[in-house]
A and B are shown apart, each in its own frame.
Chain A
Amino acid sequence: MLTIDTLNGFGANTAEGLARCLNREDFYFRLVRMAAADAGFETLKNALDERDLDRAFETAHALKGVLGNLALTPLFEPIAEMTEHLRSREDIDYTEWMIPITHRIASLRALCDD
């Protein structure tokens, strides 16, 4: 279930995220649900599988902005790190970031589904 406590347990900085949403929990939760449902996570994975680093960068950059605004820190941090590598189109193994991202987005979606 999506509450301030469960989001804090997830590792989000809810104080920061709420501040951007004018301290309106309903508004914040609605946007968190939208972010969790964002197909960008799958697009990012597919782009990396296909080694389409241009599309991967655009997707990661977009996700980074949203996750930063909502202070979903456990997702924001690895996405932000990846974005800097993708900005230079580095042809490296992005698994070290994708593994935690995949697990954490699954956890967030589970919170949003309940």
Chain B
Amino acid sequence: MPNEPDSLVLRNEALRRENDELKKQLMEARDANTAKEVFLSSMSHDIRTPMNAIIGLTALARKHIDEKERVSDALNKIGVASNHLLNLINEVLDMSRIDSGKLTLEEEPFALSDLLHDTLVIIRPQAESKHHTLRFGADGIVYEGLIGDVTRLRQIFVNIANNSVKYTNDGGEIRINVTEEPDGDRVILVFSCDDNGIGMSEEFLRRMFEPFERASNSTQSGVEGTGLGMSIVRKLIDAMNGTITVRSAPGAGTSVRIRIPLRYETLSLDTSALRNANLLVIESSVRRRELFRTYLDEFRIHFTLAESPSDAIAAMTDADFREDPFTGVILGTTGDGNANIYDIASYIRKSNPSLPIVLVSKDRWEDIQYRANRSGIDYFIPIPFFRKSLINGLNAALTHSSEESDGFGAAPDLSGKRFLLVEDNIINMEIATELLAATNATIDRCANGREAVERFAAAEPNAYDLILMDIQMPIMDGYTATRAIRALDRPDAKSVRIFAMTANIFAEDIAKARAAGMDGHIAKPIDVTKLMQTLRRFA
């Protein structure tokens, strides 16, 4: 019987191969199962940690219910823990959605500056808690208006940067850089993140994008995470037709480079208020001077560059002599640290009380605000800055200033108008009352936010032309009171003008006021001229 033994051999061979394949699949299934069990164990720990924090902080808040600051602090921390928990849950759901093919990417316009600022805001606190040096640069950005899924892009950037923070020992260095490469009708957004952290082995690099893989187990190392972050990042980048390359070695840090093609659009910025501006830019960094020159030339804003404080003083003297004085100052780095910045700002402020001074700095505004304000600095633009943040900052500074130069200093006659003044401090209340009374308007006064809400709710519709609201008050603060007024079911609840009276003028505080429903702010200590300008314009 010919071939019978051969066919048996072939059949045996095929069966052996099939058996080997099944064994291999069984091993892979067991490995996957083990990885999932480890993941579930890690995840349950990572979920329990913020849950325990929420439960503990809630109990603390209840125990100290009459202590406003303590309750507020506990609630802030509950917010942080809640967001962290939500992020964990979202990552797990993300994986599930991506794996089942249900991921949809948005195609919406966004500003690159907003994406990078948001990324920095999210990662900075943890980087600072580990005393890392975080360097952030964005050079050669031409296309600031991009089109894509900004939420997912932020998720990618934050994930990469957070890993650098987590896997770098205390006091490390993390460098993030963003550049663009033109590519026909698109632009390639290049995001790089380099750290001097613990690095990864060759072996882990090969599987780092697989789900549930982690360099170390969080329950042992204390490093939290789901093991899904890099897998999600990889899938999102693939969905965006981008690429990610990672170089790393144990003890030698890690470099990640992401390239994502995006469509772009022209950013629309209103520079009409800057048409007649004449700016003095004080900046010792060659690179940043060129950036200022590029942006200001692009928008045809007239400027003079000074490399040092002494050059700046010479330029100011010269401008005054030519009877072409500067209408604003941009104060960058002066080469001698912050001390010199405040000295030059103070000097400028003394010689010209109304000249707007805009500080451009990599420092956090909260850390420097007191000294900056005392030195005469009016506005702040964080580094890295782009066209949008520069133009918006200049608009805010020079527009506010031009209102003062209308020559208006006396109180306007606002007879027939009615204001609601909300202030808890008696002396501040007396000052504000006298200033407002000089306009002949009727002033109603409340000592806290709750009284203000009740007074407004009890008044006839459109009774008030303007509400001036202090922020920090007992019983109910200004933000809460504003939200409560805006939520009232009456036609003027949304339309009545509410102005914050606050010492904080940084964008975040102004954003808080706007988010609460306020229409603007009046700085404290009260500037009488600016107050009268605001009343004339808005009352």
Chain A residues within 8 Å of B425, by CB: 62, 65-66
CB atoms of A65 and B524 under 8 A apart? yes
Interchain nearest-CB distance for A114 vs B (Å): 21
Q: Is the CB of A57 closer than 8 A to any CB of chain B?
A: yes
Interchain nearest-CB distance for A82 vs B (Å): 10
Q: Is the CB of B273 closer than 8 A to any CB of chain A?
A: no
Chain B residues 398-447 with CB under 8 Å of chain A are 424-428, 430-431, 434-435, 438
CB atoms of B524 and A58 under 8 A apart? no
CB atoms of B434 and A35 under 8 A apart? no
CB atoms of A69 and B525 under 8 A apart? yes
CB atoms of A80 and B69 under 8 A apart? no
Alpha-carbon gap, A66 to B430, bound state (A): 10
Nearest CB in chain B to that of A54: its residue: B69
Q: Is the CB of B350 closer than 8 A to any CB of chain A?
A: no
Q: Is the CB of B35 closer than 8 A to any CB of chain A?
A: no
Interface class of chain B by DSSP = helix
Q: Is the CB of B48 closer than 8 A to any CB of chain A?
A: no
Q: Is the CB of B528 closer than 8 A to any CB of chain A?
A: yes
B contacts with A, residue count (CB < 8 A)? 22
Chain B residues within 8 Å of A58, by CB: 69, 472
Nearest CB in chain A to that of B430: its residue: A31
Alpha-carbon gap, A66 to B426, bound state (A): 9
Chain B residues 517-533 with CB under 8 Å of chain A are 524-526, 528
Q: Is the CB of B70 closer than 8 A to any CB of chain A?
A: yes
CB atoms of B70 and A22 under 8 A apart? no
Chain A residues within 8 Å of B438, by CB: 22
Q: Which residue of B67, B370, B434, B524 is within 8 Å of A21 (Cβ)? A: B434
Chain B residues 236-290 with CB under 8 Å of chain A are none
Nearest CB in chain B to that of A73: its residue: B374
CB atoms of B427 and A35 under 8 A apart? yes
**With A34-B426, A54-B69, A65-B428 given, is the CB distance from A71 to B525 under 8 Å?**
yes
CB atoms of A65 and B69 under 8 A apart? no
CB atoms of B70 and A54 under 8 A apart? yes
Q: Is the CB of B291 closer than 8 A to any CB of chain A?
A: no
Alpha-carbon gap, A23 to B428, bound state (A): 16
Q: Is the CB of A101 closer than 8 A to any CB of chain B?
A: no
Q: Is the CB of B503 closer than 8 A to any CB of chain A?
A: yes
CB atoms of B427 and A66 under 8 A apart? yes
Q: Which residue of B69, B374, B427, B472 is within 8 Å of A34 (Cβ)? A: B427
Q: Which residue of A16, A20, A65 is within 8 Å of B503 (Cβ)? A: A65
Chain A residues within 8 Å of B503, by CB: 64-65, 68
Alpha-carbon gap, A71 to B96, bound state (A): 61
Q: Which residue of B374, B434, B525, B526 is within 8 Å of A27 (Cβ)? A: B434
Chain B residues within 8 Å of A68, by CB: 503, 524-525
Alpha-carbon gap, A107 to B472, bound state (A): 29
Chain A residues within 8 Å of B427, by CB: 31, 34-35, 38, 66, 69-70
CB atoms of B434 and A69 under 8 A apart? no
CB atoms of B431 and A61 under 8 A apart? no
CB atoms of A69 and B524 under 8 A apart? yes
CB atoms of B428 and A66 under 8 A apart? yes
Q: Is the CB of A84 closer than 8 A to any CB of chain B?
A: yes
Q: Mark A71-99, 1 if CB is under 8 A from B, else 0.
A: 10000010011011000000000000000
Q: Is the CB of A110 closer than 8 A to any CB of chain B?
A: no
Alpha-carbon gap, A81 to B368, bound state (A): 11
Interchain nearest-CB distance for B67 vs A (Å): 7
Nearest CB in chain A to that of B426: its residue: A34
CB atoms of B524 and A20 under 8 A apart? no
Interchain nearest-CB distance for A105 vs B (Å): 15
Interchain nearest-CB distance for B260 vs A (Å): 38
Q: Kindly list the 7 A-B residue pairs having the minimum CB-CB distance in the complex, ordered from nearest.
A: A68-B525, A54-B69, A66-B427, A69-B525, A84-B370, A69-B431, A31-B427
- 11 A–B contact pairs at CB < 8 A? A20-B431, A22-B435, A24-B434, A34-B427, A65-B503, A65-B525, A69-B431, A69-B526, A71-B525, A80-B370, A80-B374
